[in-house]
Structure 1
Amino acid sequence: MAANSLEDIFGTLRRHPDVEAPNLQAWDATDKLLLEAAAGRVGPDSSLAVIGDRYGALTLGALGFLGVRRVRVHEDLITGERALRNNASALGLAGFEQLPLGEELLAGAETVLLQLPRTLAELEEIAGAVARYAALDVLLLAGGRIKHMSLAMNAVLERHFQNVQPQLARQKSRLIVAGGAGRASAVEHSAVEHPALEHLAELDLDVAAHGAVFAGAKLDIGTRFLLTFLPAMPSARHAIDLGCGSGILAAMYARQNPGARVTATDRSAAAVASALGTARANGLADRITTLQDDAMSTLPAASADLVLLNPPFHLGASVHAGAGIKLFEAAARVLAPGGELWTVFNRHLQYLPALERLVGPTTVKGSNPKFTVAVSTKRA
């Protein structure tokens, strides 16, 4: 029988090792709505899968509030995986298994709880996997904040499920209930390759991208601007594409510098898989190593000569400088003395003093109406 109230569980949750701040919390109203909706539908022996559980609210709520004995969970971000384990330890809860998106996660699942992703491409990939691998009578409870939802999400789900029913909004969140997985439709749509592969003519580069990757297989404008400085970047023995996304920076640097060893790293499993796909598609897999990690935490200090960084300025739905600062600190640790951090960032962000303080002497290499490119040299 469940022993914890949702208030007890949510009150214990922390975001660590992700950035923590007074305006950032480890759960939202959608988590509560999903768990309350599941309360009358699942029991101790239910086959339950959870997708997109950012810090463990859904998984630990299922274990501690709903009384489910075993939960299979997929979180794309390694920070979310680690936060779930930390929070489970704090609450004394066990019984979950962390798995990649796919058959092992979803085989036989009777109920799936989903925090809706921000992109339709990611939702397409998730819905296809649920419809293909879960039980025939699976019930998908998908929820999100209203401001991030669109009617197009219904259309995506309708391609994979026979019944899609949006629910009434509550506390600025809304659920979509989907069921009746159409196996024929699932097989048809799963024939779409994941990751998607597109050719970027302006770079003459094939780019692989899973649905969860920022900018997909496109070239985002910050990376485009940073790449204009590629000829000025030093030839490094070991270069790192930090926050690699689909691996465009890693691939272009490796192509320009055939003697360099390049590491493409990101906290997102989808990004790392995409970067590997990009490396393979362009014949660069022998020189690019991919690594899922939280801000290079497993890389040795002073082990790189060059770090390339297009940092995020959002943490989930919040604009927050903490994500960039954390990556600057990481670059300072991993760079050898005299090594360089090349960063592109939105001009309105006041990152230059932080780069100077955390890494070393910093010079603006160029700017346009939207972005600044700076190079910081690690102090000896």
Structure 2
Amino acid sequence: MPDPFLDQLSRFPDVEAPDLVAVDATDRLLLDEAAAGIAAHPDGVLTVDDTHGALTLGAVALHGASGVRAYTDLRLAELALAANAERTGTAGFTVLPELDAAGARVVLVQAPKSLDALREIAETVAAGADRSVTLYVGGRVKHMTHAMNGVLGDSFEHVHATLARQKSRVLVATGPRPGASSFPRVVEHPDLGITVAAHGAAFAGTKVDIGTRALLRALPAQGSGAAVDLGCGTGVLAVALARAGYAVLASDASAAAVLSARATAERNGVADRVTVVRDDALAGVEPGSVDLVACNPPFHQGTTVHAGIADRLFEAAARVLRPGGQLLTVYNSHLPHRDALRRVVGPTRQVSRDPKFTVTASTKL
């Protein structure tokens, strides 16, 4: 249902499009389902992966919560939360640098895309929250599976689903069963000579996706100077660049990716040549300071395909590259990225192409 407070919220500084919203039906259902719990424990609320602040600010403004703690994997979500808090004049929350459920009584979660991400959240909440905690996990019905119940059931005694509303549903878990975390997961890839460490929300987990494999084949065998693995994920490209001789900055907006990339660099003996940071589109990197950028850009905003996500990364690469510097990019062959790369970065040539993936090299003028 419409709400005057929630209707004020914006996606800024996230990408905007007619089919993308700042507050969805899942946000509203989570807040309604947890209303009684929030009222009973106003100082024990934790929100997880609140995409634009609706859960955190809604718990404060609509249900009287105080001292809400908010953890989001994506840096952009933190920025959107801060912008919406300023827009609405809402205080009474703290942003956590890492997921910490200590003492939480009510936990609201926007369901992540992967089961591993959900598992790490459930394990962390079960291990750290108050024994009376209630965990609410909401999502669109079409993206929720019975396997999610099983994942929650591994860390909680009782799991049930609410009735659906406006094509959204909430899973409710109680009775935490504390245990050791199963993350990060670690897998060796002998064909690549790389060991991958991955936390739950890291893209592709411990696998090396075929797009990254295509880009690995295009990386220089030897090099020097400063290189960036933009949108580094688990840090596979960063490891390869460090082995080639570059001083590498591995950057990702995902906290899980940053933790994973650091662990991957350590496992492969290149931690002294790889600096890993959580950043939004290289905001902390000096313009014209980089010789090479490697990027396997995402093309989904949640579950929606949107070219604007990759375009922001191309613009970031163009800003930080020195004249003559190069951006190596891999993307799905059906996507029209080459025109954007020519426009934003500079002359762009095809390095390789198959029915699924294209690798291009763009030179900064």
Q: TM-score, normalised on structure 1? A: 0.93
- Aligned counterparts of 2:157 and 2:337: Cα–Cα separation in 1: 49
1:159 matches 2:173: no
Give the partner amino acid of 2:197: A
- Aligned counterparts of 2:283 and 2:207: Cα–Cα separation in 1: 28
Q: Superposed, which structure 2 residues align to 1:168-207 within 5 Å?
A: 168-182=163-177, 186-187=178-179, 190-192=180-182, 194-207=183-196
* Partner SS, residue 73 of structure 1: strand
Superposition deviation, residue 23 in structure 1: 1.8
* Partner SS, residue 373 of structure 1: strand
Q: Once the two structures are superposed, what CA deviation does each residue of 1:129-182 show, in whole Å capped at 9, x if it has no partner?
A: 111110111111111111111100000111111111112111111111110112
Q: Superposed, which structure 2 residues align to 1:279-358 within 5 Å?
A: 279-358=265-344
Superposition deviation, residue 351 in structure 1: 1.0
RMSD: 1.4
- Aligned counterparts of 2:17 and 2:224: Cα–Cα separation in 1: 36
- Aligned counterparts of 1:131 and 1:333: Cα–Cα separation in 2: 43
- Aligned counterparts of 2:257 and 2:151: Cα–Cα separation in 1: 22
Residue 76 of structure 2 corresponds to which residue in structure 1?
79
- Aligned counterparts of 2:102 and 2:220: Cα–Cα separation in 1: 49
Report % sequence identity. 51
* Partner SS, residue 140 of structure 1: strand
- Aligned counterparts of 1:139 and 1:76: Cα–Cα separation in 2: 21
- Aligned counterparts of 2:58 and 2:119: Cα–Cα separation in 1: 26
138 and 340 in structure 1: CA distance in 2 versus 1, 3 angstrom threshold: same
Residue 198 of structure 2 corresponds to which residue in structure 1?
209
Specify which of 125, 134, 142 is matched with residue 139 of structure 1: 134
Specify which of 90, 93, 97 is matched with residue 93 of structure 1: 90
Moved more, 202-211 or 5-14: 5-14
Residue 36 of structure 1 corresponds to which residue in structure 2?
32
Q: TM-score, normalised on structure 2? A: 0.97
Tell me if structure 2 keeps the 8 A contact 1:124–1:157. Answer: yes
Q: Once the two structures are superposed, what CA deviation does each residue of 1:73-127 show, in whole Å capped at 9, x if it has no partner?
A: 110001000110110000000011111444xx31111111111111111111100
- Aligned counterparts of 1:101 and 1:171: Cα–Cα separation in 2: 32
Specify which of 226, 233, 241 is matched with residue 238 of structure 1: 226
- Aligned counterparts of 1:140 and 1:95: Cα–Cα separation in 2: 21
- Aligned counterparts of 2:278 and 2:14: Cα–Cα separation in 1: 15
Q: Once the two structures are superposed, what CA deviation does each residue of 1:19-65 show, in whole Å capped at 9, x if it has no partner?
A: 12222111210100010111122227341111110110000000111
- Aligned counterparts of 2:338 and 2:105: Cα–Cα separation in 1: 51
* Partner SS, residue 41 of structure 1: helix
Residue 49 of structure 1 corresponds to which residue in structure 2?
46
